[in-house]
Amino acid sequence: QYLDMPVDYESLKEVGSIMGSGGMIVIDDTSDMVDVAKFFVEFCKSESCGKCVPCRVGTAQMYDLLDK
């Protein structure tokens, strides 16, 4: 239904979605979802300020679990 929809702020807003940071990732049935999760957890880990335990320790633990 939405495959031909333009990817811009107004079009996404009309269907109740948001653009977010403007990033987009295309996933198909050959994508390894563990690798996708590792990518995003690594991003969160590297962008964290490290001041709170969930960000400082939790993201590292999540990455380690996904990396097993």
Lookup: tokens for 31: 């994508």
Query: How much is the pTM?
Result: 0.64
* Residue range 1-59, pLDDT digits in tens: 888 888 888 998 999 988 777 677 888 999 999 999 999 999 999 999 989 999 989 99
Q: How far apart are the first and last CA of the chain?
A: 37
For the chain, which residues make up each domain, given as ranges? 9-67
Closest CA to 24 of 32, 12, 34, 16: 12
- Strands (E) in 1-68, as ranges, are none
Please give the pLDDT value at position 23.
72
Query: What are the Cα distances from residue 61, in Å, to 20, 24, 26, 39, 40?
Result: 26, 26, 26, 14, 14
